[in-house]
């Protein structure tokens, strides 16, 4: 229907126009004070402090905090190492065995390590996997002190001929402070072990940084 035809109805439909006019005339008038009430309402609403909804932000911050705590690698390993380091020192005098037993002791300790790994430390597994991905050679366990690093280097060297083909994850239990051969290293060997331990520590620190960065990125993406 064209607009002209529709507009023509406005002229022709006189009854309809009259009816509407009468209806509008009978419609209740706007209360006189309505505008005044409206202005008062506007003033009251302007004076009201604007409510800022902050609970979604608080909730988001809590979730982010929980995720950071959950995803950050556990720091207990270092303290475990320190504790383990102290423990054998007490037992050291009692544990002076012959050099011939060395071959028998080593496999037992590795088995022990495996058992401990399977039972005790599920959260560390991820980190250990990451270590393996990043640098398969960097087997030493993260250490905080040079003494611990030395111990790791020692066990790595001691077990090299037997375990070279099979990568073994070492823990603080492998620290061979009780072994007699520890007292027989030459200064050059000790220096080399220290160097290796330092390198391993640096790699571990870099890896920690990478993991932290990755965690932060993941959190930011979420």
Partner 1 sequence: MAEIDIDLIRGLREQSPQAQRKALERYGNEVFALVARMLPATEDAEEVYQDVFVKVFRNIAMYDAEKSSLRTWISRIAYNESVTWLRHKRLAVIYFEDREGGAEKLTDAEVEETLGHPNSDMVQLIRAALKHLPPDERAIVTMFYYEEMSLKEIAYVTESIPTTVASKLSRTRKKICKIIKMLQS
12 contributes a contact to partner 1 by CB under 8 A: yes
Q: Residue 167 in 3-state DSSP?
A: coil
Q: Among residues 165, 80, 92, which one has the least CA distance to residue 116?
A: 80
Closer residue to partner 1 in complex, CB, 13/99: 13
Cβ nearer to partner 1, comparing 32 with 52:
32
Among candidate residues 207, 73, 195, the one with its CA nearest the CA of residue 135: 207
Instruction: Identify the burial level of 88 via C-beta atoms within 10 angstroms of its C-beta, where 0-12 means exposed, 13-18 middle and 19 or more buried.
Output: middle
Residue 133 binding partner 1, by CB under 8 A: no
Question: Among 1, 44, 98, 165, which residue interacts with partner 1 (rule: CB under 8 A)?
Answer: 1
End-to-end CA distance of the chain: 56
Distance CA 9, CA 193 (A): 104
Count of residues engaged in binding partner 1, rule: CB under 8 A: 32
Do 69 and 217 meet the contact criterion of CB atoms below 8 Å apart? Answer: no
Stretch that binds partner 1, among 3-11, 122-130, 168-176, 184-192 (CB under 8 A): 3-11
195 touches partner 1 (CB under 8 A): no
If one asks whether residue 27 binds partner 1 (CB under 8 A), the answer comes out as: yes
The runs of H, that is alpha helices, within 121-186 are 122-134, 146-163
Among the listed residues 6, 44, 90, 108, the single contact to partner 1 using CB under 8 A: 6
Does position 32 interact with partner 1 (CB under 8 A)? The reply is: no
- 39 binds partner 1 per the rule CB under 8 A: yes
Q: Which residues bind partner 1 (CB under 8 A)?
A: 1-3, 6-7, 9-10, 12-24, 27-28, 30-31, 34-35, 37-39, 41-42, 45
């Amino acid at each position: 229907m064209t607009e002209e035809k529709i507009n023509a109805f406005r002229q022709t439909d006189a009854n309809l126009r009259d009816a509407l006019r009468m209806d509008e005339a009978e419609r209740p008038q706007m209360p006189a004070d309505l505008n005044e009430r409206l202005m008062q309402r506007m003033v009251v609403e302007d004076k009201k402090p604007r409510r800022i909804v902050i609970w979604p932000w608080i909730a988001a911050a809590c979730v982010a905090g929980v995720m950071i705590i959950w995803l950050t690698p556990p720091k207990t390993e270092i303290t475990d190492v320190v504790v383990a380091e102290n423990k054998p020192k007490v037992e050291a005098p009692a544990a002076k065995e012959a050099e011939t037993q060395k071959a028998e002791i080593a496999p037992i300790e590795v088995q022990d390590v495996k058992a401990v790994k399977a039972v005790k430390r599920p959260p560390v597994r991820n980190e250990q996997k990451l270590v393996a991905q990043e640098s398969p050679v960097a087997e030493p366990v993260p250490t905080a002190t040079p003494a611990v690093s030395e111990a790791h280097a020692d066990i790595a060297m001691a077990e090299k001929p037997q375990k070279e083909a099979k990568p073994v994850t070492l823990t603080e239990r492998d620290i061979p402070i009780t072994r007699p051969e520890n007292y027989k290293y030459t200064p050059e060997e000790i220096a080399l072990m220290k160097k290796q331990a330092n390198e391993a520590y640096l790699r571990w620190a870099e890896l920690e940084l990478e993991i932290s960065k990755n965690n932060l990125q993941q959190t930011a993406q979420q």
